[in-house]
């Protein structure tokens, strides 16, 4: 992973990818970056016969991790932000896949903050989902949590709490039940860990909820929402301090906002919470006057609406601050499902104002997704 000569972090750039063709017959996948100040778009790299399922940016903003299908083989790849040094880190055996499951909130492929490890799930389609750990320095692959065909529960990495702890969510692979409960896995406890070594840090059976941890990894923010059919939904944000405590404190509540997703960001010199509100029930005429993207302090004060644009989706692949907010804390990017036009990537200012559409699905682009922010 050689550095980039004369790299000096400068202008904020939003990184995204597009897929063309179909997952079964991909034409190409393209990584691009958009400069919010010059409004210029540059192609990082175009990959023939490739379909990208998910992608993440490294902490230093220099590298992009790809979970992709390359010539019908599931592979983890790495490419530098300038499109150089494309390399395959891991390729699954024939018939196996690195699972990409963004319905759980974010995908199960997660890169550690210190850029040393990648964790992912494989074996879900074979009925034996296991959590694996890939060490980048050596290329060694270990099984962190061994799956069993007799188990009714699978565990999916959601995000790294710090350099050695992974937050997992549990799910029932063969049911329609939503992801439930959060667990902490410590990689210092070794490989081939059993479920008994997991620390449960949250229990829930709700349909609409999400979480993120504070920047110092000591606190957990959990949002709950009730989506209603003919009136604005309601929601609240609870603080668990320390993580795993049984006595949450409600720091924000609303009878108007159905809070669907939440992320911790750095705004100014302190943590703040970015959250999306979306009031919907399938088949029911709903009222969306409070939908959009909102910003609030971690003590529940200074609530501010950033945009009323509907269908706001935060980054589906990562929960780090740079997944949604520029590294200078001035801009944000979202990936709305702007039906009926299709999915798009949009950027805006944390000081407010209109959104700028960066990319959108079209007749020759099957998918477009946000990766995160770098600065060049």
What is the domain-level CATH number for residue 123?
2.40.128.660
Pair (143, 236) in one structural domain: no
Provide the Cα torsion 155, 158, 161, 165; round to 10°: 30
- Helix-, strand-, coil-residue percentages of the chain, each rounded to 5: 5, 50, 45
d(CA 321, CA 358): 20
For residue 52, what are its two tokens?
A: 């990208």
Q: Biggest alpha carbon distance in the chain? A: 56
pLDDT in tens, 258-278: 998 999 998 888 899 999 998
Residue 191 and residue 246 share a domain: no
pLDDT computed for residue 338 by the predictor: 67
**How far from chain centre, in Å, is Cα 355?**
21
172 and 141 in a single domain? The answer is: yes
- Number of structural domains (the chain) is 2
Which of 152, 183, 205 delimits the end of a domain? 205
Instruction: Give counts: helices (H), strands (E), the chain.
Output: 0, 28
pLDDT at site 148: 66
Same domain for 191 and 159: yes
| Three-state helix/strand/coil letters over 89-141 | EEECCCCCCECCCHHHCCCCCEECCCCCEEEEEECHHHCCCEEEEEECCCCCE
The answer on 184 and 239 residing in a single domain is no
| Residue 302 domain-assigned (yes or no) | yes
Interior angle at CA 98, CA 166 and CA 91, nearest 5 = 115
Query: Is position 189 within any domain?
Result: yes
Domain range for 195 is 107-205
Tell me the mean pLDDT in the region 291-315: 92
- The pLDDT score that the predictor gives to residue 354 is 92
Enter the tokens of residue 286.
Answer: 């709903």
362 DSSP 8-state letter = B
Report DSSP state, residue 323: G
Within a domain: 96: no
Structure tokens at 312: 């706001």
Q: How far apart are CA 291 and CA 269, in angstroms?
A: 27
3-state secondary structure of 321: helix
Residue 88 domain flag: no
Higher pLDDT, 52 or 106: 52
264 and 170 part of one domain: no
Contact by Cβ (8 Å): 122, 132:
yes
- What local confidence, expressed as pLDDT, does residue 75 receive? 93
The reply to whether 146 and 184 lie within a common domain is yes
Within a domain: residue 304? yes
- Per-residue pLDDT of 108-124, as tens digits, reads 899 999 999 999 988 77
pLDDT band of residue 149 (cuts 50, 70, 90) is low
Q: What is the mean pLDDT of residues 234-250?
A: 93
Alpha-carbon distances, residue 264 vs 1, 239, 329 (angstroms): 28, 12, 12
Domain boundary among 151, 177, 205: 205
- Are residue 210 and residue 289 in the same domain, yes or no? yes
Q: Is residue 263 part of a domain?
A: yes
> 259 and 309 in contact (C-beta within 8 Å)?
no
333 near 347, Cβ under 8 Å? yes
Query: Which residues, other chains included, contact 72 with Cβ-Cβ below 8 Å and sequence gap of 6+?
Result: none
User: Of 205, 226, 242, which residue constitutes the final position of a domain?
Assistant: 205
> SS3 for 196?
helix
Same domain? 221 vs 302:
yes
Using alpha carbons only, how large is the chain's radius of gyration in Å?
20
Q: How far apart are CA 11 and CA 36, in angstroms?
A: 8
Could you tell me if 327 and 373 are in contact, meaning their C-beta atoms sit under 8 angstroms apart? yes
């Amino acid at each position: 992973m050689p550095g980039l000569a004369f790299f000096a972090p400068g202008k904020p750039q939003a990184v995204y990818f597009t897929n063309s063709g179909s997952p079964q017959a991909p034409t190409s996948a393209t990584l691009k970056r958009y400069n919010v100040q010059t409004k210029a778009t540059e192609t990082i790299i175009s990959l023939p016969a490739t379909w990208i399922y998910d992608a993440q940016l490294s902490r230093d903003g220099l590298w992009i991790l790809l979970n992709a299908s390359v010539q019908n083989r599931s592979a983890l790849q790495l490419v530098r932000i300038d499109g150089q040094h494309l390399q395959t880190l891991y390729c699954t055996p024939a018939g196996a896949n690195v699972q990409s499951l963004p319905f759980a909130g974010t995908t199960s492929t997660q890169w550690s903050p210190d850029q040393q490890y990648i964790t992912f799930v494989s074996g879900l389609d074979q009925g034996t989902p296991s959590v694996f750990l890939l060490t980048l320095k050596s290329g060694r692959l270990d099984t962190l949590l061994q799956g069993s065909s007799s188990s009714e529960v699978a565990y999916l990495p959601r995000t790294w709490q710090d350099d050695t702890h992974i937050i997992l969510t549990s799910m029932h692979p063969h049911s329609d039940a939503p992801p439930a409960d959060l667990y902490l896995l410590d990689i210092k406890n070794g490989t081939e860990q059993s479920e008994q070594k997991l620390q449960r840090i949250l229990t829930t059976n709700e349909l609409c909820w999400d979480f993120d941890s504070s920047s110092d990894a000591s606190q957990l923010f959990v949002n709950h929402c009730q989506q209603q059919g003919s009136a604005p939904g309601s929601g609240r944000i609870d603080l668990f301090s320390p993580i795993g405590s049984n006595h949450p404190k409600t720091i924000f509540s609303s009878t108007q906002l159905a809070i669907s997703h939440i992320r911790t960001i750095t705004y100014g010199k302190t943590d703040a919470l970015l959250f999306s509100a979306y009031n919907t029930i399938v088949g029911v005429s709903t009222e969306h006057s409070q939908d959009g993207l909102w910003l609030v302090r971690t003590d529940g004060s200074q609530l501010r609406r950033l945009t009323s644009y509907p269908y706001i989706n935060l980054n589906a692949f990562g929960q780090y601050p740079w997944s949604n907010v520029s590294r200078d804390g001035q801009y944000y990017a979202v990936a709305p499902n702007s039906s009926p036009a299709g999915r798009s990537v949009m950027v805006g200012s944390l000081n407010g104002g209109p959104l700028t559409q960066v990319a959108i699905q079209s007749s020759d682009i099957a998918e477009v997704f946000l990766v995160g922010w770098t600065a060049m």
